[in-house]
A and B are shown apart, each in its own frame.
Chain A
Amino acid sequence: MTRLLSSAIAALLLLLVAGGCVSEQERQASAAVADYFSGNLAAAAARLQPLAQNTDSNFVLNNARLGSCYLAMGKLDEAEAAFLKAYEVINSLGVNNGGRSLGAVLVDEKIKIWKGEPFERAMVNFYLGVIYAMRQDYANCRAAMENALFKLQEYQDAKSDQFKERDSDFAIAYLMLGRCFQRLGRDDLAQANFDAAVRVLPSLAPLADLRLQAQSNVLLVVEVGYGPHKVTDFDGSIVGFAPTPPQQGPVPWPMTYVDGRWAAIPGIHPPPLDLLALAQERRWQSIDTIRAVKSAVGTGLIYGGAIYGAAAANRRNGMSSQDALVSAAMIGTGLLLKAVSQADVRQWEMLPRSIYLIPLHLAPGTHQLSLRFPNARGLDYTWNQLSVPEHGDVTFYLRAHPAAPNMAAMPR
């Protein structure tokens, strides 16, 4: 029986250690992220494509990563398909019910199907909205932005009689919603959403202007910087996001030049979205406490087992085999608990720190458009053939990144 027990513990430890090793899929995903940030978007997409087909616990994550690649490449159909796959699972409830939830709590959090933190879920919807805006499909853009707001909405106690929705912090989605409603002929709802954006971020007042947005026939969606990354504490059981906005410093801000002339747009800085700030509001985390308790109990069992063993060994007649077994079992269980209290640090690495929305009013025809970032090195973009149609408007997406000057999706 002792032998069986020891083998079982050894096997489980091996399993956990093996589980902690980086799999081939994770290696491929990491390589794809590296390709993305070095500007080799085609290689990143090629690596992610087979991973994104796999309906495992990383299905949403890999499709979100793939969508980021395709969007930066300007492949809107492919980006839409990838983001829609992620969107469908994010919108499905109870995906992790049953064995997965229990396994994630008791064994390893990575067992759960990754649906992302609320800001990551909101970003999947936001990107879908940007894709639909680029296609001038404002009905779907509106729907995507509304769903993005759902993901970041705050609620008072759901059990309370005075249940009430509060505004989401996602001001950028309110701005986009305002634009959508304007283009769908609902100025009343556009105004309500612009007002909501200003309530969340008063500095947006000049930008959230009905007339300015109505006149604008070109919208630049410009992403800068790196999004938050997950960090764990000394024993890996508590997770947080770093860096904080003060640690990272000011967001690079863009200056827009049209046909060589500076276009002064009121209210574009500070940006309507700073994911580093948003990530600090980790009000949604639910199993940090469970992991911390598992880790603390594990530590207690390790110390308890060691003390028990030492006390037994100091007895006059020495340590019996029963004492040795109890001590080993306590230490083993403690180690197991420590091992299974590791936080899930999977995250969507491609997210930017900030997104600027730059509305422009340009005459129909071809223009030269330049974006310069005075407080950031290596960010300087010029497009000589930006085509503005006679009717309707165009949306243009740019991922400003020093190593990758061509991560931009031209309007179609």
Chain B
Amino acid sequence: MRLHLFIFSFLLLLAGLLSAGGCATAVSAGQNTALDGTDLVKMTDDMSAKIMASPAVQRQYAEHGPLKVVVMAVENQMRAEILPRGPAEAFTARLRNLLSKHTPTQFTWIMNRDAFYRLRNSELPVDLGPSPDAINPTHALTARFSSLASEDATHRDSYYLCVYELTNLTDRTILWTGSYEVKKTAVKGMFD
């Protein structure tokens, strides 16, 4: 009788494992050390608050009126982390959106040429703003993401430094700079 119980329990356990194994999908399980949506929100919220509070930016606005800013995609200097075009643009586009919303009079935003013509050709219903050929930007909003990454038999670590800069294109001076840092670690499992 004990043997029966043992075999029956074993079968139940196997059935349980089979069903448990099927719960998580390939994209819902696991952890990644890449920058994600949470970083995007935290980083751009932080940067927009800092840029709005910058005395240099305020002084420039007071002296010359709205800053005509061209927005560039993020420059990827990260080790072993791909930053596709979409996310590379999102990290500066969200900052632009936040600043447009909170300080609509201080900045005139100009899309960079590549993004402008690509979006115009895509015929997506997006407000592209003025054509980059119609208006000369006075400032550039750029971002540069760097990282130190390492991977070994047990885990993967990534330390990110994301630097944003608002540069005066007339005299090539940096009007404002801000940075965001984050460290991420993911531990390897049996089949990693």
Q: Are A94 and B188 in contact (CB under 8 A)?
A: yes
Contact status B17-A97, CB under 8 Å: no
CA distance A215 to B21 in the complex (A): 53
Q: Which of A59, A100, A107, A163 contacts B27 (CB 8 A)?
A: A59
B contact set with A: CB distance below 8 Å: 1, 3-4, 7-8, 11, 14-15, 17-34, 75-84, 149-156, 186-192
- Is B11 a contact partner of A9 (Cβ separation < 8 A)? yes
Query: Which residues of A (136-170) have their CB < 8 Å from a CB of B?
Result: 139-140, 143-144, 146-147, 149-150, 153, 155, 158, 163, 165
**Most A Cβ at <10 Å: residue of B17, B20, B151, B187:** B17
B189 lies within 8 A of A8 (CB) = no
Tell me the nearest residue of chain B to A109, going by C-beta: B191
Name the B residues within 8 Å of A89 (CB-CB): 26-27, 30
Q: Pick the contact of B14 from A5, A56, A80, A106 — CB < 8 Å?
A: A106
Q: Which residue of the partner chain, among B25, B31, B80, B154, contacts A147 with CB atoms under 8 Å?
A: B80
- Smallest CB separation, A308 vs chain B (Å): 13
User: Within the complex, which residue of A107, A132, A150 is in contact with B18, where a contact is CB–CB below 8 Å?
Assistant: A107
Residue pair B82, A87 in contact (C-beta under 8 Å): yes
Given A55-B25, A103-B18, A329-B3, A139-B189 contact (CB < 8 Å):
no
Partner of A94, one of B14, B30, B150: B30
Which parts of A35-66 form the interface with B (CB within 8 Å)?
55-57, 59-60
Q: How far is the CA of A91 from the CA of B156 in the complex (A)?
A: 9
Chain A, residues 69-87, CB within 8 Å of chain B (1/0): the string is 0000000000010001001
Chain A binding site: helix, strand, loop or mixed by DSSP? helix
Whether B1 lies near A92 (C-beta < 8 A) is no
User: How near does chain A come to B51, taking the closest CB pair, in angstroms?
Assistant: 25
CB <8 Å contact, A57 and B4: no
Residues of A1-18 contacting chain B, CB below 8 A: 1-2, 4-5, 8-9, 12, 15
Q: A94-B186, A140-B82, A286-B190 are in contact. Are A158 and B152 (CB under 8 A)?
A: yes
A216 within 8 A of B: no
* 25 A-B pairs in the complex with CB atoms less than 8 angstroms apart: A9-B11, A12-B14, A55-B26, A59-B27, A89-B26, A89-B27, A92-B31, A93-B32, A93-B187, A95-B192, A99-B22, A101-B190, A103-B18, A115-B191, A128-B82, A139-B83, A143-B76, A146-B149, A147-B80, A149-B80, A150-B156, A155-B152, A158-B154, A163-B152, A325-B3
In the complex, are the beta carbons of A95 and B21 less than 8 A apart?
Answer: no
**Contact present for A94 and B82 (CB under 8 Å):** no
Give the residues in chain B near A84, CB-CB below 8 Å: 82, 84
Q: Is the CB of A102 within 8 A of B17?
A: yes
If A94-B189, A106-B17 touch, does A113 touch B29 (CB 8 Å cutoff)?
Answer: yes
Option from B11, B26, B28, B29 in Cβ contact (under 8 Å) with A12 = B11
Which of A4, A106, A149 has the most chain B CB atoms closer than 10 A to its own CB?
Answer: A106
B191 CB contacts on chain A under 8 angstroms: 95-96, 100-101, 104, 112-113, 115, 286
Please report the C-alpha to C-alpha distance between residue A100 and residue B189 in the assembled complex, in whole angstroms: 11
Which residue, of A2, A92, A98, has the highest number of chain B Cβ atoms within 10 A? Answer: A92
**Is A88 engaged at the interface, CB distance under 8 Å to the other chain?**
yes
How many Å lie between the Cα of A158 and that of B150 in the bound state?
13
